[in-house]
Every structure is written in structure tokens, then in C-alpha cells.
């Protein structure tokens, strides 16, 4: 049971497209609810009414619609709204917030994919977001496998996976480098296994984190 009060715990999932983040966030949220925790599951871009509108602006239509700089501003604006209206109120209420992607995705996709804009991304983050997750689960996997999975469930959104396997490989390496950069909050899990086995590893990591920080 959850006897904690006051401030909750902020857990994010990161990884390349198709690595299983949405699947694993859903399974983790269900498992933690069964453990008795109050859980809010959310995602980026999106997670609040305003941020969902921005999601449509960045993921639909011509992929070249925005420069990398403008895209960074849009993702950051969406994140700020999501934080103010969804994430921070839930954390203040003592909930566990599980978020499918957060600022590390901007560090990767906008910070690395079209030139080195990581410095600009970090400055904007320091000014407008400030908060980092308490725990980040990086689902690491082979980009070809991720791409195959992601393309199988292709919808109307222009996703970054459409840029192809080379970008996916750079993103994988970038995410692993980010895990080395922030070892205190990152845990890397091998996503190239069955859904149940990955979920069991995720739950182990999270239960350990929650017990340690109860
Ligand atoms: P992401 O949110 O990281 O893009 P999803 O959770 O949406 O990934 O998974 C992408 C696709 O791959 C979905 O169709 C999902 O059912 C499937 N999938 C997720 N995890 C696994 C796994 N471990 N093994 C096989 N298929 C998976
Ligand atoms: P998402 O819905 O998580 O897609 P997927 O399930 O395929 O992983 O995210 C949509 C796309 O948005 C994804 O390609 C990554 C991209 N993205 C950014 O470029 N920057 C960001 O800050 C975020 C949160 C996502």
C-alpha cells in the first residue's frame, strides 16, 4: 500500500519509436494501481488540453513545416502546459505520475536530429521547465526492430520514425549517452524481449525505487 503523502514520484519512459514505451507505461500503471498506489498515466507531446492541440501541430502535416528551433519552442510550450495543469498538481496530491516521453525526448529529437541544438534545448529547459523526472526508464532496443514495430501501427501522425533507420540508430546511441550523463535517474532495460519479460524488469526497477524513496 502507498502510505506516502505530500509529494509523489515522477517516472518517465524514454526510447526510440516502437521500443514499447506506451505498452510498458500502461502495464506499469495497472500493476502499481494493483499495489495500491494512486497513479496518473500521461504522455508527451500532450497530456493536457492545450498540449494535445500542440501535438497535432508538431506531428501532423508536412514534416518540414517547422524549423528545429520552432519545433523546440512548440514541444517546450506543450511541456510547460502539461506540467502546470497535469503533472505538478498530481505530484502535489502525492500521486505517481508515469509519463510516456518527457524532456529527454526533446534533448534527443530536437537537440540531435537536425544539427547540434542541445545547448539551446537545455537553456530553454532551464528557463521554462526546470523539473527532471525522479526516475527515467530507457527501453533500449535494436532500431530495425523498433522501426518495424512502429511502422506496423502507422497512423495519421507524421512521426519521427518516418525519417528512417539512420536517425533511429543515432537516437538509440544518443539515449544511451544520456543515460550515462544522468546515471542517478536513468535505468536501462533491454526492450528486445517479450512484453511480459520487459514488464517484469520494469516493475522490479520501479518497486525498488519506490521502496527506497518511501
Ligand atoms: P512506443 O510507445 O515506444 O512507440 P509501443 O508500446 O506503441 O511503442 O509498441 C509498438 C508496437 O510494438 C505495438 O504494436 C506493440 O504492441 C508492440 N510491442 C511493444 N512491446 C513489444 C515487445 N516487447 N515485443 C513485441 N511487440 C511489442
Ligand atoms: P510518441 O507519441 O511517443 O511516438 P512513439 O509512440 O512512436 O514513440 O511521440 C511522437 C513523436 O514525437 C516521436 O517520434 C518523438 C517525437 N518527440 C519529439 O521529437 N520531441 C519531444 O520532445 C517529444 C516528447 C516527442
What residue ranges define each of the domains in the chain, with the CATH number in brackets?
9-212 (3.40.50.300)
Burial class (CB in 10 A: 0-12, 13-18, 19+), 153: exposed
Residue with cell 507524421: 158
- What does the pLDDT read at residue 5? 40
* Cβ-defined contacts of 205-213 (< 8 Å, 24+): 205/135, 205/137, 206/11, 206/28, 206/32, 206/135, 206/137, 207/35, 209/9, 209/11, 209/134, 209/135, 210/9, 210/37, 210/96, 213/9, 213/134
Q: How many Å apart are CA 134 and CA 100, to the nearest integer? A: 14
- What does the pLDDT read at residue 200? 98
Report how far apart, in Å, the C-alpha atoms of 167 and of each of 13, 86, 99, 114, 129 are: 19, 31, 23, 10, 26
pTM for this one? 0.94
Q: Is 101 in the pocket of ligand 2 (CB under 6 A)?
A: yes
- What does the pLDDT read at residue 154? 62
- What does the pLDDT read at residue 4? 44
Nearest CA to ligand 2 atom 11: 159
Task: List average pLDDT for each run of 10 residues in the chain, which is 214 residues long.
Answer: 63 94 98 98 98 95 90 98 98 98 97 92 98 98 82 64 77 97 98 97 98 88
Instruction: Give 60 Cα–ligand 1 centroid separation in angstroms.
Output: 21
The set of cell numbers assigned to 127 is 528557463
- What does the pLDDT read at residue 1? 39
- What does the pLDDT read at residue 84? 98
Instruction: Give 194 Cα–ligand 1 centroid separation in angstroms.
Output: 10
Instruction: Give 126 Cα–ligand 1 centroid separation in angstroms.
Output: 32
- What does the pLDDT read at residue 160? 55
The set of cell numbers assigned to 191 is 526492450
Amino acid at each position: 500500500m502507498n502510505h506516502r503523502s505530500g509529494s509523489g514520484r515522477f517516472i518517465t519512459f524514454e526510447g526510440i519509436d516502437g521500443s514499447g514505451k506506451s505498452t510498458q507505461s500502461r502495464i506499469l500503471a495497472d500493476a502499481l494501481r494493483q499495489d495500491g498506489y494512486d497513479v496518473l498515466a500521461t504522455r508527451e507531446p500532450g497530456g493536457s488540453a492545450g498540449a494535445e492541440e500542440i501535438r497535432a501541430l508538431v506531428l501532423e502535416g508536412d514534416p518540414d513545416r517547422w524549423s528545429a528551433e520552432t519545433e523546440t519552442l512548440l514541444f517546450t510550450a506543450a511541456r510547460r502546459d502539461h506540467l502546470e495543469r497535469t503533472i505538478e498538481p498530481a505530484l502535489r496530491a502525492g500521486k505517481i505520475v508515469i509519463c510516456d516521453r518527457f524532456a529527454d525526448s526533446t534533448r534527443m529529437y530536437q537537440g540531435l536530429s537536425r544539427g547540434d541544438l542541445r545547448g539551446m534545448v537545455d537553456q530553454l529547459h532551464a528557463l521554462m521547465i526546470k523539473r527532471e523526472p525522479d526516475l527515467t526508464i530507457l527501453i533500449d532496443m535494436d532500431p530495425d526492430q523498433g522501426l518495424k514495430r512502429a511502422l506496423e501501427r502507422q497512423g495519421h501522425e507524421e512521426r519521427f520514425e518516418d525519417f528512417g533507420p539512420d536517425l533511429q540508430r543515432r537516437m538509440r546511441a544518443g539515449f544511451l549517452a544520456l543515460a550515462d550523463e544522468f546515471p542517478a535517474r536513468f535505468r536501462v532495460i533491454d526492450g528486445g524481449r517479450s512484453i511480459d519479460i520487459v514488464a517484469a524488469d520494469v516493475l522490479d526497477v520501479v518497486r525498488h525505487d519506490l521502496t527506497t524513496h518511501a
